[in-house]
């Protein structure tokens, strides 16, 4: 009998007291376990998450998205995850689409699947422009064709973690994962997913995007 896949969701959370319980509740329908990593929040995020069945990891101070995702992935691997799913804690992702990502991963025997946000009028113009620039650079420098390089919604085989593991502690983590998939020639696919852009959306800013572009150039030159 084929062994059942153990799917663990890793949810990074920074000041998400208003959304984290709902995200956990929705995500729990589609995974076996949930790990919430509270990244030094100064609100009630940790308390809200602790009142659910999720496993909580707490950073006393804010360490950044990349560090937070790594903390969660390491716990997931120790808990024998076979598939790890990244879901943002602010509610911008529809957890109902997790089965679609996992199905694409399993049925196509892939290493990683990226949940790609539609590049249409729903995406803010500045974000769309930044994504396009980073996409073209990734395609040219690392030979990988992932249009939404900045997505935080992805699933991957736990056994390829050592091939995609990142050094970036903050927002450059998404681009570094894409870069590592490309240079290691891993099998990947993009699946379009619905994204809800919230009024208090805290994603990549213009300054973050500029830093990511600089990081990409340094990666290509082998400096970091």
Q: What is d(CA 11, CA 68) in angstroms, rounded to the nearest whole number?
A: 9
Task: Please give the Cα distance from 44 to 73 (Å, whole number).
Answer: 23
210 vs 86: which has the higher pLDDT:
86
* Confidence class for position 196, pLDDT limits 50, 70, 90: confident
Cα separation, 125 vs 140, whole angstroms: 23
CA pair distance 144, 181, nearest whole angstrom: 8
User: What's the maximum distance between 2 C-alpha atoms anywhere in the chain?
Assistant: 51
Q: How high is the pLDDT of residue 119? A: 66
In degrees and rounded to multiples of 5, residue 58 shows phi and psi of -120, 125
Residue 99 near residue 30, CB atoms below 8 Å = yes
Q: How confident is the model at residue 202 (pLDDT cuts 50, 70, 90)?
A: low
- CA-nearest of 173, 160, 158, 174 to 33 is 158
**Least confident residue range of 91-105, 156-170, 187-201:** 187-201
- Class for domain 7-221, per CATH? alpha beta
**Paired sense of beta strands 188-192 and 112-116, if any:** parallel
Query: What's the distance, Cα to Cα, between the start and end of the chain in Å?
Result: 45
The 10 Å Cβ neighbour count of residue 78 is: 8
* Share above pLDDT 70 across residues of the chain, in percent, rounded to a whole number: 90
What's the confidence (pLDDT) of residue 34?
98
- Please state, rounded to an integer, the average pLDDT across all residues of the chain: 90
Tell me the per-residue pLDDT of 130-180, one tens digit each, with 9 for 90 and over: 778 877 888 888 889 898 888 999 999 999 999 999 999 888 999 999 999
Q: List pLDDT tens digits, range 54-72.
A: 999 999 999 999 999 999 9
96 with 26: CB under 8 angstroms? Answer: yes
The pLDDT of residue 159 is 98
Domain ranges of the chain: 7-221
DSSP 90: T
- This prediction's pTM: 0.88
Phi, then psi, of 209 in degrees rounded to 5: -60, -40
pLDDT band of 222, cuts 50, 70, 90? confident
Residues 6+ away with beta carbon under 8 Å from 195:
92, 93, 117, 118, 122, 123
Q: pLDDT tens digits for 12-49?
A: 999 999 999 999 999 999 999 999 999 999 999 999 99
Q: Locate 3 and state its tokens.
A: 């062994």
117 pLDDT more than 90: no
Determine the pLDDT at residue 136. Answer: 85
pLDDT at 19: 96
Rounded to a whole number of angstroms, the CA Rg of the chain reads 16
């Amino acid at each position: 009998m084929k062994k059942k896949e153990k799917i663990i969701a890793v949810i990074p959370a920074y000041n998400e007291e208003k959304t984290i319980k709902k995200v956990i509740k929705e995500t729990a329908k589609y995974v076996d376990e949930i790990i919430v990593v509270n990244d030094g929040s100064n609100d009630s995020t940790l308390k809200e998450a602790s009142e659910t069945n999720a496993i909580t990891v707490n950073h006393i101070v804010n360490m950044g998205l990349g560090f937070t995702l790594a903390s969660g992935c390491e716990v997931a691997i120790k808990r024998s995850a076979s598939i790890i799913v990244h879901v943002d804690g602010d509610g911008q992702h529809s957890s109902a689409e997790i089965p679609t990502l996992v199905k694409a991963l399993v049925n196509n025997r892939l290493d990683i699947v990226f949940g790609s946000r539609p590049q249409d009028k729903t995406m803010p113009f500045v974000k769309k422009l930044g994504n396009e620039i980073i996409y073209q650079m990734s395609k040219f420098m690392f030979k990988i064709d992932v249009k939404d390089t900045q997505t935080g919604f992805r699933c991957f085989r736990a056994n390829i973690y050592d091939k995609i593991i990142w050094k970036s502690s903050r927002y450059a983590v998404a681009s570094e994962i894409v870069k590592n998939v490309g240079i290691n020639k891993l099998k990947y696919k993009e699946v379009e997913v619905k994204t809800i852009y919230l009024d208090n959306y805290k994603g990549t800013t213009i300054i973050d995007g500029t830093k990511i572009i600089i990081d990409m150039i340094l990666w290509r030159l082998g400096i970091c």
